[in-house]
Structure 1
Amino acid sequence: MIKKLVIVLVAFFALQMNAQEGTASPYSFYGIGSLKFKGTVENRSMGGLSIYTDSIHVNLRNPAGYVGPNLKILKNESRPVKFAIAASHNSINLKADSGSEKTSATTVDYMAMSMPLGNKLGFGLGILPYTSVGYKLEDVNNNNQVLNRYRGEGGLNKAFVGLGYRITDKLSAGIDVNYNFGTIENTAIEFLYDNNGNLIQYQSREQNRSELSGLNINIGLTYKTMISEKLELQSGFTFSPKSDISSRNTRTFSTIVINEQSGQEFSVNTIEADLESLGFDTTDLTLPSRLSFGAGIGVPRKWFLGAEYTFQNTSKFSNPIVRIDNANFVNASNISIGGFFVPDYNSFSSYLKRATYRAGFHFENTGLEINNEKINEFGISFGVGLPVGKWFSNANLGFEVGRRGTTNQNLIQENFVNFQLSLSLNDKWFEKRKYN
């Protein structure tokens, strides 16, 4: 059954990747968009904690999680094939000194698969939106007249393949090779008025389009050991070195007429900028290095509590085609603390006792600085994993509430509520043949 479901979900995900607008944050105006991927629903429900690995969930942050011990239910000969898909709905209340506004976005977050390749090896692959651009902004004067209107859409997607290797019973290592691709479109319209304050017939529009592509890698380690008869220590480490992605750029200038009722834009004439003579037709964007490490303790199949620190060298980020005077990038960091609790994973009398209850929080310096104000984010999250079907498959529900940004320096504060849903499905695809 799971094999048929995989085919259906692959087709659905491929359609949604081109159709969705993954964010409604005004801060996606900067750089290559807001970071969309922050781990699986299980990770996000624990404040973004990704150091915990097991045999029934895909870990998309650490490729060392593709391997693990064989299961007793499979006669200690293999591990299940793991498949995961998730979607989320984000509701944002935008608050500024001049007023407030509400917006929302619903997206598919990721689809991935992990499978065993013998006792020591594991293989993983998947696809996910990595960053997302989706903003609509206006600049108004003292007479409440719109001077400029900005909008953007698109983002950077990531397709990956990876291998994990179990070095010892306690130590595993892995590597992902990521192909990053996507398109970002930014539009700016300048509104002009006559001496009486009436909008003139023709307006000016600038459109920039960047087609992005490039490779990078992610290396991971996990270490597990029993520190007492019941307590287990788990730790994780990941590192993504700095890399470049290529951006093919076009820019056009148009004279347009805007329908006042529908807002639809009609182009009167368009000219294309000669970016080649400026050396901007093809540029390289620097993706900064990223390092994370953390550890936690718990009783296997009962509870776990851990902490993780992430550092990203975003001060090295560069995008030559777009320069913004009042914004710059500084080094980013994130602290996640969270865990889970299972009342009784083997209970026959109560379904809810077999569920996994998760909670956590995180504090993040996003690395974006506007008008000398750092854009920080704080979030508290909760979640539950509900057993479904065979082979320890489960449905995971996540809920996150938090705040990003500030109203200082005429900026925007985002108060967000996120709902997430994922399916973590397991099946036995490979079985050794036995002959008498």
Structure 2
Amino acid sequence: MIKKIIISACLLLSLVSFAQEGTSSPYSYYGIGDVRFKGTVENRSMAGVAVEQDSIHINLQNPASFANLKFTTFALGGTYNTTTVKSDSKSEKARRTMLDYLAVGLPFGKVGVGFGLIPYSSVGYKIESITDDANTNNRRYNGSGGLNKAFLGVGYKINSNFSIGADAQYNFGKIETTSLEFITGVPVGTSEKNRADLSGVNFDIGAMFKAKLNNKLNVYSSLNYTLENTLTSKNTRNIATVAYNSGFDLSAVDILAEQSSVVELKFPSKISLSAGIGESQKWLIGGKVAYSKASAQANEYNNASNVGYGKYGSVSLGGYFMPDYNSFSSYAKRIVYRGGLKYEKTGLVVNGESINDVGLTLGLGLPITGTISNVNIGFELGKKGTTSAGLVQENYANISIGFSLNDKWFVQRKFQ
């Protein structure tokens, strides 16, 4: 039954991932868009902490984790997002539903293999500046698209406490932006359309370690390193005069100029280090830090003098508690209760202000009775950006649902 669910979901969600508009952030205009969290609902509910060597959950943050899987594991998850974007003078609300990941993990003894699809970044904004003043130019900006990652990773278990791994990620996607400029009462305006087709490859290497403090307590550590890489952007630009009606429906396009170019976007190496302490299948508390140098994500169509890309850094603290893993009398005692706090310096700097993200996460892991599979629910409240320097602040709330489905696929027959 689980195999049928996996095949059906793969066919459906692989199509959805290319068409979704996964953000409503005005900051997604810059760089390659709003970079999404890379990980499952279980990890996200603990603010990104994923340090324990888990045998039934996929860890998308470290390829070494694939070596710890004991069952064939299928993971998929999505998020419903509500965001209030506010400035000093007004606020607007937006809602989005998005796919977060689709992944499969396969155990082969000391070797584990993982593969899947992750939407890495999203572009999705609609901004208007319209007045009745005939001497003022009105503007409207739209953007959509993003970058996806298809990955294949291998983990190897050196011994019961130490595993290593590596993965390759193929990046692909497109970003489309439109800007319209016009004067109130004049039915003809100017339009600029940009399209960027993105492609490239990058690699991760990782290691995970576990050690016993005593009969109950373990300490865990995880290291993941992303190598420096380049993303190729094939750009096309179309500048035209357009006629529009009161509903801003464009028609009668008169093309003034068309341009094409190829740009190389440089991404620096990134390192993530996690550590934690806990009692297996009972509780865990851990922390994570991540860092990378300044990048060069600006493209031709979104390069601006008031925008820069600095160093990225993040700090998070999270953990879980499970009252009684083996309880038969109480379902509530078998639920996993998760929580965490995060602070992220995105690296984006606009008008001299660093765009930071602060959030609180909570979650529940609900076992599916009679199986080793589970449904995971995550909640996240946070704030991104600032109203200083003429910018906007995003207050967001996310509800995420993920499935971790497990089964034995490769069982050697003892009788013919």
Q: TM-score, normalised by structure 2?
A: 0.96
Write the letter of the residue equivalent to 2:196.
Answer: S
- What residue is the counterpart of 1:133 in the other structure? 123
Write the letter of the residue equivalent to 2:255.
Answer: T
Separation of aligned partners in 2, 1:341 and 1:310: 24
Match of 1:85 among 54, 61, 76: 76
Residue 334 and residue 267 in structure 1: after superposition, are their counterparts in 2 closer, same or farther (change >3 A)? farther
Aligned pairs (5 A) from 1:248-267 = 248-261=234-247, 263-267=248-252
- What residue is the counterpart of 1:387 in the other structure? 367
Aligned pairs (5 A) from 1:274-293 = 274-275=259-260, 281-293=261-273
Provide the secondary structure at the position in 1 that maps to 2:68: coil
Match of 1:431 among 408, 411, 415: 411
- What residue is the counterpart of 1:68 in the other structure? 68
Alpha-carbon contact 1:373-1:409 (below 8 Å) kept:
yes
Write the letter of the residue equivalent to 1:229.
Answer: N
Question: Percent sequence identity over matched residues?
Answer: 43
Deviations 1:206-248 (A, max 9, x none): 0010100110001111001111111011110000011011111
Paired residues in the alignment total: 415
Residue 430 of structure 1 and its aligned partner are, at CA, apart by 1.2
Aligned pairs (5 A) from 1:65-214 = 65-68=65-68, 79-117=70-108, 119-140=109-130, 147-192=138-183, 198-214=184-200
Residue 186 of structure 1 and its aligned partner are, at CA, apart by 1.1
Residue 146 and residue 16 in structure 1: after superposition, are their counterparts in 2 closer, same or farther (change >3 A)? farther
Alpha-carbon contact 2:164-2:207 (below 8 Å) kept:
yes
Residue 312 of structure 1 and its aligned partner are, at CA, apart by 2.1
Residue 90 of structure 1 and its aligned partner are, at CA, apart by 0.7
- What residue is the counterpart of 2:216 in the other structure? 230
Identify the range of structure 1 (316-325 vs 337-346) with the bigger mean alpha-carbon deviation. Answer: 316-325
Separation of aligned partners in 2, 1:407 and 1:264: 32
Write the letter of the residue equivalent to 2:286.
Answer: G
Write the letter of the residue equivalent to 1:177.
Answer: A
Alpha-carbon contact 1:233-1:297 (below 8 Å) kept:
yes
Residue 317 of structure 1 and its aligned partner are, at CA, apart by 3.8
Write the letter of the residue equivalent to 1:203.
Answer: G
Alpha-carbon contact 1:37-1:129 (below 8 Å) kept:
no
Alpha-carbon contact 2:29-2:302 (below 8 Å) kept:
no
Mark the runs of 5 or more structure 2 residues left unpaired by the alignment.
Answer: none
Deviations 1:118-145 (A, max 9, x none): x210000000100000011123569596
Separation of aligned partners in 1, 2:292 and 2:252: 42
Runs of 4+ in structure 1 deviating by more than 4 angstroms, as ranges, are 140-146
Separation of aligned partners in 1, 2:357 and 2:94: 18
Residue 40 of structure 1 and its aligned partner are, at CA, apart by 0.9
Deviations 1:231-275 (A, max 9, x none): 0111100000110111111000121122213x3211421244233
Deviations 1:399-434 (A, max 9, x none): 000100000011000000000000000001111222
Separation of aligned partners in 1, 2:353 and 2:14: 38
Separation of aligned partners in 2, 1:313 and 1:114: 31
- What residue is the counterpart of 1:76 in the other structure? none
Provide the secondary structure at the position in 2 that maps to 1:18: helix
- What residue is the counterpart of 1:346 in the other structure? 326
Write the letter of the residue equivalent to 1:47.
Answer: A
- What residue is the counterpart of 1:26 in the other structure? 26
RMSD of aligned Cα (Å) = 1.7
Mark the runs of 5 or more structure 1 residues left unpaired by the alignment.
Answer: 70-78, 193-197, 276-280
